Amino acid sequence: MLESWSNVAYSEAKRVTSNAKRSQQPPRKGASLIDEEAASRAASTTEESKAALRAEEGDRGRDAAWPSQIPALGWKDIFWRLWEEFNKDRLLLVAAGATFYLLLALFPALAAFISIYGFVADPVTVADHVAYLGGLLPSGGLDLIRDQLQALARQKPGALGIGFFIGLGIALWSSNSGMKALFDAMNIAYEEREKRNFIALNLMSILFTVGALLIGIVLLLTVGVVPALLRYFYLDAWTETLVAAARWPVLVGTMLTGISLLYRFGPSRERAKWRWLSWGSLIATVAWIAASWLFSFYLQHFANYNATYGSLGAVVGLMMWTWISVIILIAGAAINAEMEHQTAIDSTTGPPLPMGKRGAVVADTLGKTAD
């Protein structure tokens, strides 16, 4: 069944190419009528093949050009394959491995964060600004991060010279292992193997590490600094409330952008069109905010990790929160991947190509049906 869809897609592209070549040749006597009849027969054959396959499978969105065109039967296939992939690829274990590398990269990342944060604000105030994220991070983990940031901010800042940039470069290099672990997780979600060379992979991961730090700074400034600035503008109560409320859409939009970029450039494959990334990105963003708040609420009111793990309670809470966050990121990527897997239409950037020529596993093959 899957082969028949691939053959239809390939044959259709072959016919289009052949017709294009014929159109460039000088016209012959009677050629126009013959070409029109051939094109009509080809279109009729293609539609008949699609209709036959649709009758055999049911309407599952095999010719969907947008995710919104996938019908209910197609979404049933997608979620059935998602369940299979989570078990077959052991994605919970993959998330645990990525969590390990992310936590190893945490403290070098905090050092780089303080260095970059000093360009836009006083590093000494960073601990106060981090406190505004209390609803999204576990309290113990937040205290751990805040204490480390305070210790780093109290150190005598170096001059903006070679030594400063060498230290920043070392911190970024040490912290990019966490980003490469996320890239590996994206490859697994998209069923790809790493094809980038050492230099390309590390340049991409360092670029994303810097981007993640900048996103963190934007979030911190948006959530923490804006309320302090509002006091100096003497705005009326309504305007001040409106500006303060606008922080949260900015936070959501920044998170959505960061996750979308990770899904587009993280896996080692031909880039997917944005339309095939937006759904999983939005689901992951909303799910991450909800899960972070619920987990923080759970730790605050029900769980007592300090009683169970002693002084390691804050570390365990932060580790659990990171693990949940990575699971959500992988799930969003897997949703995008299986949506691409559902359609025979080319979901990659550039001109449409037949299956097997698109440079992405989920775009080059069709996913199994749930029936």
Residue 65 resides in a domain: no
Instruction: Kindly write down the DSSP assignment for every residue of 136-190, as one continuous string.
Output: TS-HHHHHHHHHHHHHHHHSPPPPSSHHHHHHHHHHHHHHHHHHHHHHHHHHHHT
In this structure, are 51 and 171 located in the same domain? no
Q: What is the pLDDT of residue 251?
A: 84
Q: What is the pLDDT of residue 47?
A: 52
Task: Choose among 260, 247, 273, 252: nearest CA to 211.
Answer: 260
Task: Choose among 190, 206, 195: nearest CA to 347.
Answer: 190
Give the three-state DSSP class for 348.
strand
**Residues whose CB is less than 8 angstroms from the CB of residue 348 and which lie 6 or more positions away in sequence, other chains included:** 270, 271, 272, 273, 358, 359, 360, 363
In this structure, are 211 and 313 located in the same domain? yes
In this structure, are 147 and 37 located in the same domain? no
Paired residues of 272 in beta bridges: 348
In this structure, are 315 and 280 located in the same domain? yes
Instruction: Kindly write down the DSSP assignment for every residue of 45-61, as one continuous string.
Output: HHHHHHHHHHHHH-S--
Each as own residue / partner, the long-range contacts of residues 213-216 (CB below 8 Å, 24 or more positions apart, any chain) are 213/109, 213/112, 213/113, 213/116, 214/116, 215/254, 215/255, 215/257, 215/258, 216/113
Residue 143 resides in a domain: yes
In this structure, are 196 and 254 located in the same domain? yes
Q: What is the pLDDT of residue 57?
A: 61
154 close to 124: Cβ distance less than 8 angstroms = yes
Give the three-state DSSP class for 306.
helix
In this structure, are 223 and 334 located in the same domain? yes
In this structure, are 16 and 155 located in the same domain? no
Digit-coded pLDDT (tens) for 324-363 = 999 999 999 999 999 999 999 999 999 999 999 999 999 9
- Share above pLDDT 70 across residues of the chain, in percent, rounded to a whole number: 79
In this structure, are 268 and 331 located in the same domain? yes
- In tens digits, the chain (371 residues) has pLDDT values of 444 444 444 444 444 344 434 444 444 444 444 445 544 444 444 455 555 555 556 689 999 999 999 999 999 999 999 999 999 999 999 999 999 999 999 989 988 888 888 776 777 777 777 877 777 788 888 888 888 888 887 775 555 567 677 878 888 898 899 999 999 999 999 999 999 999 999 999 999 999 999 888 888 777 766 666 666 676 677 777 787 777 788 888 999 999 999 999 999 999 999 999 999 999 999 999 999 999 988 988 888 888 888 888 889 999 999 999 999 999 999 999 999 999 999 999 999 999 999 999 999 999 999 87
Number of domains in the chain: 2
In this structure, are 20 and 164 located in the same domain? no
Burial of 279-297, coded b for 16+ CB within 10 Å and e otherwise, reads bbbebbbebbbebbeebbe
Digit-coded pLDDT (tens) for 138-175 = 888 888 888 888 888 777 555 556 767 787 888 889 88
Counting every residue written for the chain, the total comes to 371
Question: What does the angle CA 128 – CA 109 – CA 115 come to, to the nearest 5 degrees?
Answer: 65
Q: Is the dihedral of CA 298, 258, 120, 205 positive or negative?
A: positive
Residue 286 resides in a domain: yes
In this structure, are 147 and 16 located in the same domain? no
Q: What is the pLDDT of residue 67?
A: 97
Residue 280 resides in a domain: yes
Residue 78 resides in a domain: no
339 close to 78: Cβ distance less than 8 angstroms = yes
Residue 77 resides in a domain: no
Residue 64 resides in a domain: no
Q: What is the pLDDT of residue 156?
A: 57
In this structure, are 146 and 273 located in the same domain? yes
> 47: domain range?
2-57
Paired residues of 348 in beta bridges: 272
**Residues 5, 10: Cα–Cα separation, whole Å:** 9
Residue 346 resides in a domain: yes
In this structure, are 211 and 342 located in the same domain? yes
